[in-house]
Structure 1
Amino acid sequence: MSSYTSSAAAGAPANSRARVLLASLVGTTIEFYDFYVYATAAVLVFPHLFFPKGNDTTALLASFAVFGAAMVARPLGAIFFGHLGDKRGRKATLVGALLTMGIATFLIGCLPTYSSVGWFAPFLLVILRLAQGFALGGEWSGAALVATENAPKGKRAVFGTFPQLGAPIGFILANGLFLIIAALMPSADPSRPSDAFLDWGWRIPFLFSAVMVIVGLWVRLNLVESTAFEKTVKTGQVKKLPLVSVFKTHGRQLVLGTFYMLATYVLFYLMTTFSLSYGRAPVDPAVLKPGAVPGLGYEYNTFVLMMIVGVVFFGIFTFLSGPWADKWGRRKTLIVVTLAIIVFGLSWVPLLSLGSVGVMAWLILGFSLMGMTFGPMGALLPELFPSNVRYTGSGISYNVSSILGAAVAPFIAVALWSYGAGSPFWVGVYLSAMGVLTLIALVMGEETKNVDIEA
Structure 2
Amino acid sequence: MRRITLVDEPHTAAEPIRIVAHVRRQRSSGSRSHEGNTMSMSTSASARPRNNAKIAAVSGFVGSALEYYDFFIFGSAAALIFGKLFFAPGPSSMLLSFATVGVAYVARPLGAVICGHLGDKFGRKRVLLFTLLLMGTSTFLIGCLPTYSQIGMAAPVLIVALRLLQGLSAGGESPGSSSLTLEHAPDTKRAFYTSWTMSGIMFGIVLSTLVFIPVASMPEEQLLAWGWRIPFLASAIVTVIAFVLRRLLEEPPVFEEVKENDEVVKVPLVILFRYHWVTVLRITAMSLFTIINTIINVFALSYATSVVGIDKGLMLVVIAVANVTAVAMGPVAGLLSDRIGRKPVFLTGLVLQIGMIYVFFSALSAANVPLIFLTGILLIGVAYTGANAIYPAYFPEQFPVKVRYSGMAISLMFGLLLAGFAPAISELLIGGNKANWIPVATFAALACLISAIATLTGPETYRTPTALLGLKKSRTQRRTPSTVMAEVVVADASGAEAALTEKVRA
TM normalised by structure 1 equals: 0.89
Instruction: Report the counterpart of residue 359 of structure 2 in structure 1.
Output: 347
2:262 equivalent to 1:262 = no
Larger Rg: 2
What letter matches 2:467 in structure 1?
E
2:60 equivalent to 1:24 = yes
2:186 equivalent to 1:152 = yes
Structure 2 counterpart of 1:311, from 323, 332, 345: 323
Structure 2 counterpart of 1:34, from 70, 74, 77: 70
Instruction: Report the counterpart of residue 5 of structure 1 in structure 2.
Output: none
Alpha-carbon distance change, 226 to 380 in structure 1, aligned in 2, over 3 angstroms: same
Instruction: Report the counterpart of residue 36 of structure 2 in structure 1.
Output: none
Q: Shift in Å at residue 319 of structure 1? A: 2.1
Instruction: Report the counterpart of residue 277 of structure 1 in structure 2.
Output: 302
- Counterparts of residues 424-443 of structure 1 (less than 5 Å): 424-443=437-456
Instruction: Report the counterpart of residue 376 of structure 1 in structure 2.
Output: 390
Alpha-carbon distance change, 421 to 355 in structure 1, aligned in 2, over 3 angstroms: closer
Instruction: Report the counterpart of residue 336 of structure 2 in structure 1.
Output: 324
Structure 2 counterpart of 1:67, from 66, 77, 101: 101
TM normalised by structure 2 equals: 0.80
Structure 2 counterpart of 1:51, from 87, 96, 108: 87
2:142 equivalent to 1:108 = yes
Instruction: Report the counterpart of residue 334 of structure 1 in structure 2.
Output: 346
Q: Shift in Å at residue 252 of structure 1? A: 0.8
Structure 1 unpaired stretches of 5+: 2-7, 188-193, 282-293
Deviations 1:349-368 (A, max 9, x none): 55444721221122112212
Instruction: Report the counterpart of residue 162 of structure 2 in structure 1.
Output: 128
What letter matches 2:237 in structure 1?
V
Instruction: Report the counterpart of residue 168 of structure 1 in structure 2.
Output: 202
**What is the CA–CA distance in structure 2 between the aligned matches of 1:349 and 1:177, rounded to whole Å?**
25
Q: Which has the higher helix share?
A: 1
**What is the CA–CA distance in structure 1 between the aligned matches of 2:189 and 2:116, rounded to whole Å?**
24
Q: Shift in Å at residue 348 of structure 1? A: 4.0
Give the RMSD, CA atoms, in angstroms. 2.0
Q: Shift in Å at residue 420 of structure 1? A: 5.1
Check conservation: 1:351, 1:361, Cα contact below 8 A: no
Deviations 1:225-263 (A, max 9, x none): 111101211233210001111111110111111111111
Instruction: Report the counterpart of residue 365 of structure 1 in structure 2.
Output: 378
What letter matches 1:441 in structure 2?
A
Alpha-carbon distance change, 346 to 451 in structure 1, aligned in 2, over 3 angstroms: same
What letter matches 1:225 in structure 2?
E
What letter matches 2:78 in structure 1?
A
Structure 2 unpaired stretches of 5+: 1-11, 13-43, 469-506
Deviations 1:137-172 (A, max 9, x none): 011111101211111120000001011011221112
Q: Shift in Å at residue 307 of structure 1? A: 1.7
2:236 equivalent to 1:210 = yes
Which one has more relative contact order, counting CA pairs under 8 Å at least 6 apart? 2
What letter matches 2:408 in structure 1?
S
Check conservation: 1:77, 1:138, Cα contact below 8 A: yes
What is the SS of the residue equivalent to 2:337? helix
Instruction: Report the counterpart of residue 418 of structure 1 in structure 2.
Output: 431
Instruction: Report the counterpart of residue 369 of structure 2 in structure 1.
Output: 356
What is the SS of the residue equivalent to 2:234? helix
Check conservation: 2:69, 2:208, Cα contact below 8 A: yes
Q: Shift in Å at residue 346 of structure 1? A: 3.6
Check conservation: 1:279, 1:298, Cα contact below 8 A: yes
What is the SS of the residue equivalent to 1:112? coil
Q: Alignment identity in percent? A: 34
Alpha-carbon distance change, 350 to 410 in structure 1, aligned in 2, over 3 angstroms: closer
Check conservation: 1:149, 1:454, Cα contact below 8 A: no
Instruction: Report the counterpart of residue 4 of structure 1 in structure 2.
Output: none
Number of aligned positions between the proteins: 423
